[in-house]
Amino acid sequence: LVWSEPVPPPAGSAWSCPPVRFTCALHNPPNKCFVDRHCPRGKKCCRTFCGRKCISKPPAIPVSYG
């Protein structure tokens, strides 16, 4: 079972966690981290589809002209 929930505005850091538009229905989803310092350098502790985990910065979206 999946439901949609509002996406908060990005936090004011060097880069922000990607928005999570759907959440799993587990009452207590597994969390691999709770704060950024639980993650290796260059990764952030972000909410994901089901629980929190360390993720790398998403790649920049290339812009093409023409």
Report field, pTM of the whole predicted structure over 0.85:
no
> What domains sit in the chain, N to C, each tagged with a CATH number?
19-57 (4.10.75.10)
pLDDT at residue 25, rounded to an integer: 87
Number of C-alpha atoms within 13 angstroms, CB side, residue 9? 1
Q: Say if residues 17 and 44 touch (Cβ distance below 8 Å).
A: yes
pLDDT tens digit sequence for 6-60: 444 444 447 899 999 988 888 889 999 999 999 999 999 999 999 999 999 877 7
